[in-house]
Amino acid sequence: MVFYGGKFLVLGLSKSGIAAATLLLSHGATVYIYDQFVSARVKSAEEDLSKAGAICVRKENLDRTLMAIDTLVLSPGIAIDNSIAVRAHVLKKRIIGELELGSYFLQAPAIAVTGTNGKTTTVCMIESILKCAEKETLALGNVGVPLCKKVESLSRRGVAVIEVSSFQMETTRTFLPHIACLTNITEDHLNRHYTMGNYVYLKKRLFTNLRESEYAVLNAECPYSREIAETTRAKVVYFSTQRQTNGAYASNGKIYYGEEFLFAEEALSLKEKHNVENALCAIAAAKAFGVENESIRAALSSFRGARHRMEFVACKQGISYVNDSKATNTDAALAAARCMKRATIMLLGGSDKGYSFREFFEELKETTVRYVVLYGENREKLAKECSEAGYTAYSIVENLRQATVVASTVAKAGETILLSPASASFDEFSGYDERGEAFIRYINGEEDCAK
């Protein structure tokens, strides 16, 4: 692809869109920028990018711009069936995403992680292991730092550890990681992908370009792993918490890789079942990359977790606050609830993703969660399904700020308030990370929760 003198329209000025536009400008491209939603954040981005040479597009000039460009670059938050993307397709324009764009400039080998749950934690674990092994490495992608922002800071000797979402895979065709990992696949994002079949297809696409010299690290307990193993050309390495595999597995309190004993499971700093599974995926990836056992053990014994994933925030008046904003689906939120040892008040809600919460509330009754505060765009749906499941201890409020106030009122000393929304954040925030940061500010009194 020609960048110098090429004409690109970057659609969506989130972190990914800003990073894509900045990278293109640095390589001499003509860059048009547009965001369908006007906000203070978007206006600030437009101003900064304009100073760097980008051309702001207004709605009335959009069709003319689409005819003039060579390539449309979509931010991950914008679906491939967005009306602007559809128009670009009709005009036979190239359509790529920020991940695809960044991969064109990537010199370092990549370890990519996809799946429904555990991606961020697994990426952070792999990054920690590689740093312990004194490798030059960065955690990028859906974990919070766009690939385009840091891609040129990694040399050929470095390693890019990239979290890859199904949103990113809609516009990714040529990306070729050295190691591709699948944590698991369960129902998610049906509001965007419409069917489970579409969602699974996008997850499996990460493994399409792998060659015989690459590795596919697969969860032996995920039914979709078999389909990937049967079609990929890569070397398949499994991990499991339930059985012996050719890769990483846990058995009788011990961690193995193939026939080799690595260390006792007790050495892991995060011992919950889902985190042991994440650690096994990270171990399998690290071993495929040739990392020594001591670096793996040292990293995983000191690992303290990813931001916005079961993150302890504060203890005030005997009440503990935990930020699990990264839990954007029911499986992740239920895993968080099952980790709670003390009576818990849980904050649930946000923008809806198209699935039922009925079974979630049935299973929530078996945890220590004694009360839920429902907020956000999908609060009425949550309340209806909560009641149908016989879970009657709940309140309904409009937003996260109010939910934090109500939870703090309901909670008693010795209990925990857990933000684990089981929903997307886009009704109120630009992403789970912004939601988590807002929750922390509310707790620490940096913003008035009563507003």
* 336-347 residue pLDDT tens: 999 999 999 999
Cβ atoms of residues 403 and 371 within 8 Å: no
Residue 173 neighbours by CB distance under 10 Å: 14
Q: Is residue 187 very low, low, confident or very high in pLDDT (cuts 50, 70, 90)? A: confident
Beta-strand ranges (E) seen in 352-420 are 369-375, 394-396, 416-419
Over residues 278-296, the mean pLDDT reads 97
pLDDT one-digit tens code per residue, 193-233: 889 999 999 999 999 999 999 999 999 999 999 999 999 99
> What is the model's pLDDT at position 26?
97
For residue 134, the model assigns a pLDDT of 96
Write out the two tokens for 164.
Answer: 């890859």
Q: What is the pLDDT of residue 190?
A: 80
Tokens encoding 287: 């071993």
pTM of the model: 0.85
Residue type, 161: V
Rounded Cα distance, 16 and 402, in Å: 30
**Tokens, residue 128:** 């920690």
- Mean pLDDT value of segment 95-99: 97
Question: pLDDT tens for residues 381-428?
Answer: 999 999 999 988 999 999 999 999 999 999 999 999 999 999 999 999
Calpha distance 368→386 (Å, rounded): 16
What is the pLDDT at residue 29?
A: 98
Residue identified by tokens 């050295």 is 178
Instruction: Give the per-residue pLDDT at 306.
Output: 84
- Name the least confident of 45-54, 298-307, 367-376: 298-307
pLDDT at 73 over 70: yes
**DSSP conformational letter for 140:** E
CA 154/CA 111 separation, integer angstroms: 13
Alpha-carbon gap, residue 95 to 369, rounded angstroms: 45
Between 44-48, 304-308, 311-315, the lowest mean confidence (pLDDT) is in 304-308
pLDDT at 16 over 70: yes
The owner of tokens 């890789």 is 257
Q: How many helices (H) and strands (E) does the chain have?
A: 18, 20
Say what the pLDDT of residue 305 is: 85
Does 235 have pLDDT greater than 50?
yes
**What is the sign of the dihedral through the CA atoms of 304, 203, 18 and 78?**
negative
Question: Nearest 5°: phi and psi at 257?
Answer: -130, 105
Average pLDDT of the chain?
A: 95
Q: What are phi and psi of 130, to 5 degrees?
A: -65, -35
Element (H, E) at 219: strand 215-219
Lookup: tokens for 197: 């079949």
Per-residue model confidence (pLDDT) at position 451:
43
Q: Token digits for 431?
A: 């992403």
The mean per-residue pLDDT over the stretch 366-371 comes to 96
Give pLDDT, residue 1. Answer: 76
- Position 447 scores a pLDDT of 58
Indicate if the pLDDT at residue 450 is higher than 70. no
User: Where are the alpha helices (H) located in 98-159, listed in sequence order?
Assistant: 98-103, 119-132, 147-150
Residues in Cβ contact with 413 at an 8 Å cutoff, skipping those fewer than 6 apart? 317, 318, 319
pLDDT of res. 439? 97
Q: How far is CA 450 from CA 90, 142, 400, 403, 408, in A?
A: 49, 32, 11, 10, 12
The pLDDT value recorded for residue 188 is 81
Could you read off the pLDDT of 236-266 as tens digits, one per residue?
A: 999 999 999 999 999 999 999 999 999 999 9
Question: Span 98-123, mean pLDDT?
Answer: 96
